[in-house]
Structure 1
Amino acid sequence: MHIPSLAPGAPIPEKARAIAYKAREAYGLVWVCLAEPAMPFPEWPDDAWNRPDHRVILVNTYDWKASAGRVVENAMDFSHFNFVHLGYTELADGPVIKPYEVTKTERGLNYAYDDGHLLRDYVIEFPFIVHDRKSVVKVGNVKTWSDNEESKPGDITCLSFLSAPIDDTFTRIYVFVGRNHSLDKADAQFTGGFDTVMEQDRVIVETQRPEQIPVSISEELHIRFPDAGAVQYRRMLRDLDKAEAFVP
């Protein structure tokens, strides 16, 4: 290494170096680890990305003026479906949320909700990835745009939201849809309503204040069953915040 403006033999300043980060290409994206310790590398539900009997596609990217935490909480929440997304992705049994269990894993959180038509199995890869894996459990009235008139029990459609924080109040969302059915049909039949649904969410999430999720869970109102997943997510953010505070 040589800096032309330095005298011959002068030591090279320690800061005159490139900073290397761990990086990996997967799922059509480049992933970069900006700090240690690194979280376990994300896994795709059902290993759908690599299976010939599944199809996964990138629907679109969306830029929101919101923190990644707020974006993730929106993707985690299903209690707003019958209000914000009326006519697009409603819960088949109505807006009142039944009790459900939230499990903490080494990667994040898991919880599931059965509305009588779809079993929605949520896989949260902490901190900023949400997979909403929807399995048809009973054929009936179509309630989501990702269903069709030929839906049958066992059909799986997985909506995946990968939130990349650009800064504290700006997030780029990569949205994927995967399925194990209707592989001979056009992808547009399963992605056509996404821009509308994401826009319905955006106008709400961008107005949330403060932009960052409060560290203290008690600072905002939570309803016992609708917000069970969000409460656990906020506890994990709080624990992460405390851990980072003690990093030397």
Structure 2
Amino acid sequence: MGTINVTGHAMIGEAPEMKSSGTADPVSQQQWYPLGMSESLTAYYAETLLLDLPIRFRRAASGDPEVRQGEIALPACERFGYLWTTLNTEAPDPSLIPRIDEADEPDRRLVCCGSITVNASGLRVVENFLDMAHFPFVHTGILGAEPHTEVERYRVETREDGNEIWATECRFFQPQAALSAEGGLMTDYVYRIASPFSTLLYKTNPIDTDRKDVIALFVQPMTPGSCRAHPVMFLLDDESDLDALVEFQQTIFLQDRSILESQRPVAMPLDAGSEIPTLADRSSVAYRRWLKSRGVTYGASMSPMTILSTEPA
């Protein structure tokens, strides 16, 4: 599962105080975020943004990962095939990295699908991941197809003392639910929002129907209107070619990217004052209310939400 690099708290030279990212709320600043795949780390610094702050990261000569914000060394941790960091240098809490029990199962295949830049709020990327209604129209022939457009009623609940949202009893017909699937099948889904910028999907495995494949999407918010998405899968599939698995998942995400980048406003509204949701929007509504109750505002706005339908949730 990886360990915290405790030496990552050391400073170079003078010890300046960590600067706030300005627009980032305290909850977002406490979270851990992936920066890139572990196997892609080199001795040379790669550069990115995290909550408006410039970040550099690399594989140090010692073999340990190294993350810096200016002259400050940030905590570093490798989990699920990615390098993670947090801006919280005083009391970094590794328990804020989502726990994924399936990652420890020996017959699971870890498939890291790279890092994809999206010119959209990281919150919108998470919300889109939860939306089954767009499958027939955006992922036609893969995750959905007409006339199978209905989203059946499902359950939404909070777990882990209110720190997570779960959507259960989700079902949707999919022409090709996974690369290993042969023909269409009714797919059972469980969605889990494990942190403001991390979400997971547990879905029917076409070979072993008693267990589920796990697909995680970890989002690195760079600015309020841009992010990097880091998809990773924990699969019960030893047969499929690795490159084909990655291409399959990236194809789905890239289909979403054009939709995400066209959404307006760029910031995701959290004010539910004018919200009239459909049954299909239950996860989205719960997510937005949950963010608002926790004080998460990075990449969000408090302007009224768009009226969606007259059908009650």
TM-score normalized by the length of structure 2: 0.61
Q: Aligned in 2, Cα 1:242/1:118: closer, same or farther, shift over 3 Å?
A: closer
Q: CA deviation at 1:169?
A: 1.0
The residue correspondences of 1:77-116 to structure 2 (distance < 5 A) are 77-90=131-144, 94-106=148-160, 107-112=163-168, 113-115=170-172
The residue correspondences of 1:108-187 to structure 2 (distance < 5 A) are 108-112=164-168, 113-115=170-172, 117-136=186-205, 151-154=207-210, 156-180=212-236, 182-187=237-242
Deviates more, 1:109-118 or 1:123-132: 109-118
Instruction: Tell me how far apart the structure 2 counterparts of residues 82 and 210 of structure 1 sit (CA, whole Å).
Output: 24
Instruction: Tell me how far apart the structure 2 counterparts of residues 37 and 228 of structure 1 sit (CA, whole Å).
Output: 33
Letter of the 1:68 counterpart: G
Query: Which residue in the other structure is 1:238 paired with?
Result: 292
Letter of the 2:252 counterpart: V
Q: CA deviation at 1:153?
A: 2.2
Q: Aligned in 2, Cα 1:189/1:25: closer, same or farther, shift over 3 Å?
A: closer
Q: CA deviation at 1:114?
A: 2.4
Q: CA deviation at 1:49?
A: 2.2
Query: Which residue in the other structure is 2:310 paired with?
Result: none
Q: CA RMSD in A?
A: 3.0
Q: CA deviation at 1:105?
A: 1.9
Q: Which has the higher contact order (CA 8 A, sep 6+)?
A: 1
Q: Aligned in 2, Cα 1:231/1:29: closer, same or farther, shift over 3 Å?
A: same
Q: CA deviation at 1:194?
A: 2.5
Identity %: 25
Q: Aligned in 2, Cα 1:223/1:33: closer, same or farther, shift over 3 Å?
A: same
TM-score normalized by the length of structure 1: 0.75
1:92, 1:115 within 8 Å by CA — same for their partners in 2? no
Matched residue of 1:192: which SS? helix
Query: Which residue in the other structure is 2:97 paired with?
Result: 41
Q: Aligned in 2, Cα 1:19/1:222: closer, same or farther, shift over 3 Å?
A: farther
Matched residue of 1:211: which SS? coil
Q: Aligned in 2, Cα 1:222/1:160: closer, same or farther, shift over 3 Å?
A: farther
Letter of the 2:82 counterpart: L
**Within the alignment, does 1:204 sit opposite 2:259 as a pair?**
yes
Query: Which residue in the other structure is 1:26 paired with?
Result: 79
2:113, 2:250 within 8 Å by CA — same for their partners in 1? no
Post-superposition Cα deviations, 1:66-118, rounded to whole Å, max 9, x if no partner, equal: 11101100111111111111101127992112211101123321112023721
Query: Which residue in the other structure is 1:9 paired with?
Result: none
Post-superposition Cα deviations, 1:181-231, rounded to whole Å, max 9, x if no partner, equal: x31332345443323322221111111122111231235x55331110011
Instruction: Tell me how far apart the structure 2 counterparts of residues 15 and 55 of structure 1 sit (CA, whole Å).
Output: 42
Q: CA deviation at 1:165?
A: 0.5
The structure with the largest alpha-carbon Rg is 1
Matched residue of 2:228: which SS? strand
Deviates more, 1:106-115 or 1:69-78: 106-115
Instruction: Tell me how far apart the structure 2 counterparts of residues 16 and 72 of structure 1 sit (CA, whole Å).
Output: 31
Q: CA deviation at 1:155?
A: 5.1
Query: Which residue in the other structure is 1:226 paired with?
Result: 280
Q: Which runs of 5+ in 2 are unaligned?
A: 1-13, 19-70, 174-185, 299-313
1:91, 1:115 within 8 Å by CA — same for their partners in 2? no
**Within the alignment, does 1:195 sit opposite 2:250 as a pair?**
yes
Instruction: Tell me how far apart the structure 1 counterparts of residues 103 and 141 of structure 2 sit (CA, whole Å).
Output: 29
Query: Which residue in the other structure is 2:268 paired with?
Result: 213
Letter of the 2:97 counterpart: F
Query: Which residue in the other structure is 2:308 paired with?
Result: none
Higher fraction of strand: 2
